[in-house]
Amino acid sequence: MKFQPPFHELVTATHTPFHPDGSLAPEVVPTQARFLAANGIRTVFITGSTGESHSVTCEEKLMIYDAWAKAAPTHGLSVIAHVGGNCIEDCRRLAKRAGELDFTAISALAPSYYKPGSLKSLIDCCAAIAVEAPGTPFYYYDIPALTGVNFAMEEFLRQAPVRIPNLAGIKFTNPDLVSYRRSLDAAGNRFDLPWGVDETLLAALATGARGGVGSTYNWAPKLYFDLICAFRDGNMAEASRLQSVSIAMIDAIAATGFLGTAKALMTHLGVPVGPARLPLGNPDESQMDALLVRLKELGFESWGAKATVEKTAELVQA
């Protein structure tokens, strides 16, 4: 397996871009890459939950892979491709292509319609996918709130390496901090466990996290960079304040449907990722106006991602 340093950083879970009519818009990916790199991001996690994975076809994912394979090197970005889903054969095809494109890593969540009924079955699923890209680090994506699959991740780390030689760790999108600490103890220095719940990053740092993968890093990476710096400096009052800002920001966006509203915010910032696909909803103009007022109240100008040149003045005046 090729050398891969742990993801001890902020990794942005990117949106899959669509045209206003909902069709795929891979031509937007270079704009996404430029925007994220300009705001301090070095690694992206594509076609995951934030990327509406279950609403994107296998062929469309392959098109997005190709777009990121071209755009990422231009902007100094590494790419982690999410390859999971309900059809293992599609997952294997995606993993193989990600390996051929020399992506930094791949990741897969558990099948969630016909669910694995045991930890062994889950490992079997992951092994069947990971083997298609044997030279690429593999991360299991633990997100039980969406998959309904909830096994002890410390046991996964103990049992899975025999079946998955390229296992690199777990994308831990599970708010159970006790389980996370147990998993960190089981991981030791061998496996990487980036945290995936933006609202509790501070608690995760205190528990032992050293990096995170999140959707809000698309438009608010500085907020979390500052939070991490405050934590490392021992300034817990400031770190706590910034986490409270994060929670208030997420609450404001989620009030009108998180993914659709998040994509509308990115479009406002000059990255036209389009609407969310059904069954998700999208905000109307008045809802977006109210959101921009709320973000300004929360200090977006000081911690939000810098908009593209043509959008900066519009955001500041909102």
Q: What is the pLDDT of residue 312?
A: 36
Could you write out the DSSP letters of every residue in 23-35?
-B-GGGHHHHHHH
Tens of pLDDT, residue by residue over 146-168, are: 999 999 999 999 999 999 999 99
Domains contained in the chain, number: 1
Residue 47 is assigned to a structural domain of this protein: yes
Beta bridge partners of 78: 43
Provide CB contacts within 8 A for 281, sequence distance 6+: 256, 257, 260
Q: Which pTM was predicted?
A: 0.94
Q: Is residue 240 part of a domain?
A: no
Tens digits of pLDDT across the chain (318 residues): 454 658 899 999 999 999 999 999 999 999 999 999 999 999 999 999 999 999 999 999 999 999 999 999 999 999 999 999 999 999 999 999 999 999 999 999 999 999 999 999 999 999 999 999 999 999 999 999 999 999 999 999 999 999 999 999 999 999 999 999 999 999 999 999 999 999 999 999 999 999 999 999 999 999 999 999 999 999 999 999 999 999 999 999 999 999 999 999 999 999 999 999 999 999 999 999 999 999 999 999 999 998 753 443 343 333
Question: Reduced to 3 states, what is the DSSP secondary structure of residue 139?
Answer: strand
pLDDT for res 7: 87
Examine residue 281 and state whether it is found in any structural domain, yes or no: no
Where does residue 23 rank: exposed (0-12), middle (13-18), buried (19+ CB within 10 A)?
exposed
**Minimal CA–CA distance to 272: which of 311, 306, 246?**
311
User: Residue 272 falls within a domain, yes or no?
Assistant: no
Q: What is the pLDDT of residue 316?
A: 31
In a domain, 284, yes or no: no
Tell which residue, 95, 2, 104, has the closest CA to residue 43. 104
pLDDT at 143: 98
- Residue pair 144/150 in contact by the 8 Å Cβ criterion: yes
**C-alpha distances in angstroms, 61 versus 17, 48, 52, 54, 267?**
11, 10, 10, 10, 21
Residue appearing with tokens 């995170």 = 212
199 domain residue, yes or no: yes
Separation between Cα atoms, residue 46 and residue 106, nearest integer Å: 10
Whichever domain contains 14, its CATH number is: 3.20.20.70
What pLDDT is attached to residue 306?
81
- Concerning whether 171 is annotated as a catalytic residue, the answer is yes
- φ/ψ of residue 158, rounded to 5: -80, -35
pLDDT, position 156: 98
Give a yes or no: residue 74 inside a domain. yes
CB 204 within 8 A of CB 197: yes
Total residues found in the chain within this entry: 318
Strand, helix or coil for residue 78: strand
Find the domain containing 46 and state its range.
10-231
Q: What is the DSSP string of 210-259?
A: --EEESGGGT-HHHHHHHHHHHHTT-HHHHHHHHHHHHHHHHHHHTT-HH
- Name the active-site residue from 171, 217, 224, 263: 171
The active-site residue, picked from 141, 180, 217, 224, is 141
Active site residue 141: yes
How many Cβ atoms sit within 10 Å of the Cβ of residue 158? 13
pLDDT tens by residue, 68-117: 999 999 999 999 999 999 999 999 999 999 999 999 999 999 999 999 99
Whether 112 is covered by a domain: the verdict is: yes
